[in-house]
Amino acid sequence: MSLLTVNDLKVHYPIRGGFFRRVVDHVRAVDGISFELQPGETYGLVGESGCGKTTSGRAIIGLNKSTGGEMLFEGKDLAKMGRAERYKHTKDIQMIFQDPYSSLNGRKNVLNIIAEPLRNFERLSPKEELLRVQELVARVGLSPESIYKYPHQFSGGQRQRIGIARALALNPKLIIADEPVSALDVSVQAQVLNFMQEIQKDFNLTYLFISHDLGIIQHMCDRIGIMYRGRFVEEGTADEIYNNPQHVYTKRLIAAIPEMNPEKRFEKMHLRQSINEEYQTGYNNYFDKDGRMFDLKKISESHSVAMQ
């Protein structure tokens, strides 16, 4: 059974205007996306800025309300759960935030930061709590004495590790990682990503990995969903997406990855030009008359594309 099944998830924000601030229209931040997460896999959500990746992740974890569709976690719909029942699943779904600077409270030391979830869910004596925190701190590769330090005394990469330790404290099943490395220096990115893969094995985690960096997604993910304006344009395994992209938007995204090899630069340029032509001539195959994407259509067992 899949761990999480998202069915036709919609998040619409009202636009208010005119007299009495009536709702005049909606921002369709997420407009009907569906995907499944299998236990232990990493699912990548990619797309340009503003396409609704963060909004989807936040809807799943409950930071904003979904306006339609369902999110089945182990068969139960998170959207329809009452407050008390949803609270029980807090332990199972955790989040790693994008900005390691604002996601840690600067007034609390590392001990208090990491112990926060433990204090909410487990009754531990101060001694046990300290041991648990020390264990977690050691697991994310920080020195033991750092537990009495404050966030501003750490580098970005180290802070992100504190954030990861905090998310791990409750032994979650699913971790939503919203661009966990985009605020970090490139040299530290690989370090944190590899570390995330390591703990995935150790803790048997499932990741919903949100990013706009196709290189990182390729490195991390088993399956990928490409988002564009709140909808999926293509979904498939990493191999299918990178080696056999079908939708013109996916092709453009992949063609936009910078080419390091100077000999292949010309080749790449021609590729981009031909994709651009395809975009102009074949526009109607990919977008309907309102400029909206079609629904996903299966083209193989694991690969679906939004095409006519």
Partner 1 sequence: MKNTVTINEKDLIAREKLNNPSFAKTIWREIIHDKMAIISLILLIIILATAYLSPLFIDQVALKRVNFLNTWKAPSAANWLGTDDGGRDVFGQLMIGARNSFTIGIAVTLIAGVVGLSYGLISGFYGGHVDNVMMRFLEFMMVLPTTMFIIVLVTIIPNYNVVSFILILSIFAWLGKARLIRSRALQERELDYINASKTLGTPSWKIMFFEMFPNLSSLVIVNMTLTLAGNIGIETGLTFLGYGLPAGTPSLGTLVAFARNPDIVQNKWWVWLPAALLILVMMLCINYVGQAIKRASDARQRLA
Ligand X SMILES: Nc1ncnc2c1ncn2[C@@H]1O[C@H](COP(=O)(O)OP(=O)(O)OP(=O)(O)O)[C@@H](O)[C@H]1O
Paired sense of beta strands 297-298 and 304-305, if any: antiparallel
Told to check if 138 binds partner 1 by CB under 8 A, we report yes
The one-character DSSP state at 291 is S
Q: Where are the alpha helices (DSSP H) in the chain?
A: 53-61, 83-88, 110-121, 126-139, 156-168, 186-203, 214-220, 238-243, 248-255, 265-281, 283-286
- Confirm or reject binding of residue 91 to partner 1 (CB under 8 A): yes
Among 36, 74, 99, 259, contact with partner 1 (rule: CB under 8 A)? 99
Residue 166 contacts partner 1 per CB under 8 A:
yes
Strand order in the sheet with 42-47: 93-96, 174-178, 206-211, 42-47, 223-228, 231-237, 304-305, 297-298
Q: Which stretch binds partner 1 (CB under 8 A): 44-52, 97-105, 216-224, 231-239?
A: 97-105
**C-alpha atoms less than 13 angstroms from C-alpha of 220 in its C-beta half-sphere:** 34
Q: Which string of x and - marks every residue 113-132 that binds partner 1 (by CB under 8 A)?
A: ---xx--xx---------x-
Residue 50, binding choice from ligand X, partner 1, Mg ion, none, Cβ under 5 to 8 Å by partner class: ligand X
Closer CB to Mg ion, residue 72 or residue 208? 208
- The single residue among 42, 54, 56, 158 that binds Mg ion, judged by CB under 5 A, is 54
Interface with ligand X by CB under 6 A: which residues?
13, 27, 29, 47, 49-55, 212
Q: Does 153 bind partner 1 (CB under 8 A)?
A: yes
d(CA 89, CA 93): 7
**CA–CA dist 296, 304 (Å, integer):** 6
- Residue 17 within binding range of partner 1, rule CB under 8 A: no
From ligand X, Mg ion, partner 1, none, which one binds at residue 55 (CB under 5 to 8 Å depending on kind)?
ligand X
Contact 236, 223 (CB under 8 A): yes
Residue 138 φ then ψ, to 5°: -65, -40
With binding defined as CB under 8 A, does residue 148 bind partner 1? yes
| Coil/strand/helix, residue 283 | helix
Taking the complex as a whole, how short is the minimal distance between the CB of residue 107 and partner 1, in angstroms?
4
CA distances to 47, 52, 137, 180, 288 from 29, rounded to whole Å, are 13, 5, 37, 21, 19
Closest to ligand X by CB, 29 or 118: 29
* Residue of 63, 190, 256, 257 interacting with partner 1 (CB under 8 A): 63
Residues that bind partner 1 (CB under 8 A): 58, 61-63, 87, 90-91, 93-95, 97-99, 102-109, 116-117, 120-121, 131, 134-135, 138, 144-145, 148-150, 152-153, 163, 166, 170
